[in-house]
Amino acid sequence: MEIKVNNPKEILGNLIYIGHTPKYRYDREKKVKTEEVEGSTIEVASDKLGKSINITSNDIALDISPFAPVELVGLTYSPYARAVSAGYAELVERFTCETIKPIGKGV
C-alpha cells in the first residue's frame, strides 16, 4: 500500500538533513555490486516524530550541506508488517521521494 503525502511538513514537521548513503546497482549475472550509483538512502531528522528517518530516493546528485533544513518532493509512505516471531509482528515504515531540496543553509 502506497500513500502519496501531499504536505510532508504537516506529518513530519521540520526536516533537517543529516546525510546520505549511495545505493549501488547489483549485477545479478555476475553476482557483484557495481560502481554504478542508482539512488540514495537519505537520513533526515524529523522534529514532529522526534527521531531520524531513512528515505529512499532515485536522486543521485545531492549537494546539501549537513544539518540544512530540507523539503521533500514527491514523498510516498508505504508501511508494511514484518513477522518478528510466532504471533508477533512489527510495523516497518518505508518512505520514498523523488528528490530532496534544501530550504536554507546548514552548519
What pLDDT shows up at residue 63?
Answer: 86
The closest of 83, 93, 59, 75 to 15, measured between CA atoms, is: 75
Backbone phi and psi for residue 12, each to the nearest 5 degrees, phi listed first: -100, -15
What pLDDT shows up at residue 107?
Answer: 61
- Within the chain, which residues score under 50 in pLDDT? none
What pLDDT shows up at residue 42?
Answer: 92
The Cα–Cα gap between 106 and 63 comes to 12
Cell numbers of 107, please? 552548519
User: What is the SS3 assignment for 10?
Assistant: helix
Q: 23 with 70: CB under 8 angstroms?
A: no
What pLDDT shows up at residue 32?
Answer: 83
